[in-house]
Amino acid sequence: MMWGIIATWTMAYDGIKEAGEILQAAGNAKDALEKAIIDVENGPYYKSVGYGGLPNKEMIVELDAAFMDGDTFDVGAVGAIQDFANPISIARALSTKKVNNILVGEGAAKYAAQHGFERKTMLTERAKIHYDNKIEQLKTEDIKPYDGHDTVGMVCLDQGNSMAAGTSTSGLFMKEPGRVGDSPICGSGFYVDSKVGGATATGLGEDLMKGCISYEIVSLMKRGMSPQEAVDKAVGDLNRELISRRSQAGDISVVAMNNQGQWGVATNIEGFSFAVATADQPATVYVCENHEDGTTYAEATEAWLNNYYTTRKAPLKRLK
């Protein structure tokens, strides 16, 4: 029986490995996906998700997350929530309600507290050093504080042909307080239909939303495209439209899986990586290259992975 899970970025590897065990044992897509995203949220070294995520411009960590059930189209999301350990679980709980599915800021925190979700101070010492160093760099260098952003997004298929999708992110580093990106927005950061497939995005939320890119990919698959054809077309089209109308396009990277467990990936940046596991292949990390005519990818080598983990965990020095 087929099952599968695909996720943005290397940080998802451990989570999708665990999810794969759940799916292999005939567990359901919703549980497997939530568990996999919790694993990323709990990791202290991932700068754009959960604990250790980088703060907004007032040095406050504000988190966005979403959950979608591909059978029922139930969607739940939180935006700009502070100091809860696992926003994905709050989003999943909200998805089961008839109304009030998307809560932001204080309202989201109030709901989470009332329903017993774990509180946690999400700003780490490491994130504070990143923040202080960025403030120093901005004094002398002409850089954008927003560079290098990695949201986790996942699409999951179980043996019963049910699918789920989810996202979790701390959003852009040094964003305005209250800023919400694509990740909790249905159709932009994620979309899934168990009768077709699902997609999820990472990159510059403000630009991803302009193309409702996850819905677009699922819609293309619904019209008969393979996941790879759909992501190539959706990313290529949005990238071209943004450049022609606005002279530039922000970072756009997507992964998709259909309800047969076939998958696809496309990006307009260098260095995008993703992780996938299916009934036919063990959990694997791939690294992408972006070319004018599309995206290619190759399995991450051991040296690449060692370098990734060493860099992520290396002690950080204060610039001042």
Q: What amino acid positions are annotated as catalytic residues?
A: 151
Q: Judged by CB, which is closer to ligand GLY: 41, or 182?
A: 182
Q: Is the dihedral of CA 179, 183, 185, 188 positive or negative?
A: positive
From the CB of 171, what's the least distance to ligand GLY, in Å?
A: 4
CA dist 289 and 295 (Å) reads 6
CA dist 205 and 215 (Å) reads 14
Q: Judged by CB, which is closer to ligand GLY: 76, or 184?
A: 184
- Which residues of the chain form contacts with ligand GLY (CB under 6 A)? 151, 169, 171-172, 181-183, 202-205
CA dist 22 and 17 (Å) reads 9
CA dist 7 and 46 (Å) reads 14
Helix (H, G, I), strand (E, B) or coil at 237: helix
From the CB of 204, what's the least distance to ligand GLY, in Å?
A: 6
Distance between start and end Cα atoms, the chain: 56
Phi-psi region of 298 (alpha: psi -120 to 50; beta: other; left: phi over 0): beta
Count of CA atoms in the C-beta half-sphere (13 A) of 214: 31
